């Protein structure tokens, strides 16, 4: 696992290869608004933004409720409702904002993508301030704090058409963090793209057999528009972030394009990793080591957090590029590339400018190029 995650990206970047998909001939720029409000997780907003940047024809922008409620909404082709708190996001939009966004989909033929909390928002859940667009309802809301981890999912036949790069895999893995358990209500026009296979009931009191065999990715055709619901978090999963722009292309009826092999890396994850209490305790210990440990402890912590798909690993890595230890700086550079932290390229620029070790500077330069190779040109 360690070798795959840390070093495969370098070889792929050198090859500059791409996955096998149909070529794109159109140069149309797709404007994608990522909704930012109190309640939206800052990491989820950033990760959604960066995942869209993988696609050369997509232009992501972070927008507010005021943007959605104004005439500026008509400038966008896609709105992403990110992870965080669905209740806070809908309260910020207000009843008229929700109605306007629904009409934007149903009447104007635009697309909304919901990720985790965003999938709650798109659902048709009773007694929940949602958009009623996906054809599914969220069940077992009383136990929505059920846990997180690298969860298993499988593609449906339609999903294999949308993701031919993944068609040879029987089981795939993606970050999951207390996403909705969706059950069908009115599935006319809705297609199940992927199915969750992991049974996540890690928090005391949460029931078993609730998440497995439930939808993991949905494509909805509602009125004149489209919706995409991600129960998990591909946008924050190394090797799988490209699933977000691909589903946007599917929803908009666009031809697929080739994404770099540095981002199409499903093979780096081999096993389900669910964060039970023992794993959470280990994670806390390694977070402490990252902050206060010796050089060896910091390096061991970086390796553990990255190879075990720790949810917050990414936020700890940029600061380590500024460690006093050359070995830690070098390892942090590799970790940032392994995590596909394209939002931290500026941190690499500053680190390279200040680096005094030739060998560490080489590693910084190599891994900065890896990150740059992940962005659409």
Task: Looking at the chain, list the stretches that DSSP marks H as alpha helix, in order from N- to C-terminal side.
Answer: 2-15, 42-52, 65-68, 86-106, 117-122, 157-162, 243-252, 277-292, 295-307, 313-320, 326-338, 345-354, 358-373
Residues sharing a CB contact under 8 Å with residue 59, sequence separation 6 or more, in sequence order: 29, 30, 31, 32
Judged by DSSP in three states, 31 sits in strand
Q: Which residues sit opposite 172 in a β-bridge? A: 153
Phi-psi region of 364 (alpha: psi -120 to 50; beta: other; left: phi over 0): alpha
Its sign, for the CA torsion 258, 229, 189, 103, is negative
Its sign, for the CA torsion 7, 369, 44, 312, is positive
Residues sharing a CB contact under 8 Å with residue 142, sequence separation 6 or more, in sequence order: none
Half-sphere exposure of 71 (CA within 13 A, CB side): 0
Question: What pLDDT is attached to residue 159?
Answer: 98
- Contact predicate 295/328, CB 8 Å: yes
Question: What pLDDT is attached to residue 18?
Answer: 41
- Contact predicate 76/33, CB 8 Å: yes
Its sign, for the CA torsion 342, 194, 230, 204, is negative
Question: What pLDDT is attached to residue 114?
Answer: 97
- Contact predicate 323/332, CB 8 Å: yes
- C-alpha span between 243 and 366 (Å, rounded): 25
DSSP code at position 205: T
Max distance between CA atoms of the chain, in angstroms, equals 62
- C-alpha span between 93 and 130 (Å, rounded): 11
- C-alpha span between 115 and 118 (Å, rounded): 5
Question: What pLDDT is attached to residue 1?
Answer: 45
With a cut of 50, which residues of the chain have pLDDT below it?
1-3, 13-26
Angle of helix 313-320 relative to helix 42-52, nearest 10 degrees, comes to 80
- Contact predicate 123/180, CB 8 Å: yes
- pTM (2 d.p.): 0.93
- Contact predicate 36/285, CB 8 Å: no
- C-alpha span between 79 and 51 (Å, rounded): 14
Beta-sheet pairing, 148-155 with 172-177: antiparallel
Helices (H) and strands (E) in the chain, counts: 13, 12
- Contact predicate 313/324, CB 8 Å: no
List the domain boundaries for the chain: 19-259, 277-373
- Contact predicate 274/202, CB 8 Å: yes
Question: What pLDDT is attached to residue 12?
Answer: 53
Question: What pLDDT is attached to residue 128?
Answer: 83
Task: Specify the residue for token string 């092999």.
Answer: 261
**pLDDT digit string, tens, across residues 142-179:** 888 999 999 999 999 999 999 999 999 999 999 999 99
Which CATH code fits 19-259? Answer: 3.40.50.880
């Amino acid at each position: 696992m360690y070798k795959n995650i840390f070093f495969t990206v370098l070889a792929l970047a050198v090859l500059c290869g791409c996955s096998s998909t149909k070529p794109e001939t159109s140069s149309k720029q797709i404007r994608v608004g990522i909704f930012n409000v109190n309640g939206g997780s800052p990491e989820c907003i950033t990760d959604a933004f960066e995942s869209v940047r993988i696609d050369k024809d997509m232009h992501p922008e972070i927008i507010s409720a005021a943007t959605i409620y104004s005439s500026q909404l008509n400038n966008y082709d896609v709105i992403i409702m990110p992870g965080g708190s669905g209740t806070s996001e809908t309260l910020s939009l207000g009843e008229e904002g929700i109605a306007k966004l629904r009409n934007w989909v149903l009447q104007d033929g635009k697309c909304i993508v919901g990720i985790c909390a965003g999938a709650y928002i798109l659902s048709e859940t009773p007694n929940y301030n949602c958009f009623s667009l996906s054809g599914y309802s969220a069940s077992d809301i009383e136990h929505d704090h059920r846990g997180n981890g690298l969860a298993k999912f499988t593609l449906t036949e339609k999903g294999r058409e949308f993701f031919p790069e993944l068609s040879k895999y029987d089981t795939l893995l993606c970050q999951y963090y207390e996403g909705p358990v969706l059950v069908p209500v009115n599935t006319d026009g809705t297609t199940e793209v992927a199915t969750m296979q992991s049974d996540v009931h890690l928090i005391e009191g949460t029931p078993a057999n609730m998440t497995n065999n439930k939808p993991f990715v949905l494509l909805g055709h509602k009125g004149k528009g489209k919706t995409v619901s991600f129960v998990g978090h591909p946008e924050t999963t190394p090797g799988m972030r490209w699933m977000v722009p691909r589903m946007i292309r599917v929803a908009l009826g666009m031809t697929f394009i080739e994404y770099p092999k540095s981002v199409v890396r499903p093979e780096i994850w081999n096993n389900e990793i669910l964060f039970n209490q023992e794993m959470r305790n280990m994670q806390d210990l390694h977070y402490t080591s990252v902050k206060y440990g010796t050089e060896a402890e910091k390096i061991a912590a970086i390796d553990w957090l990255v190879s075990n798909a720790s949810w917050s690993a990414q936020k700890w890595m940029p600061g380590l590029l500024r460690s006093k230890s050359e070995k830690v700086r070098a390892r942090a550079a590799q970790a940032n590339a392994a995590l596909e932290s394209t939002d931290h390229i500026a941190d690499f620029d500053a680190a390279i400018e200040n680096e005094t070790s030739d060998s560490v500077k080489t590693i910084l330069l190599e891994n900065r190029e890896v990150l740059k190779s992940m962005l659409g040109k």
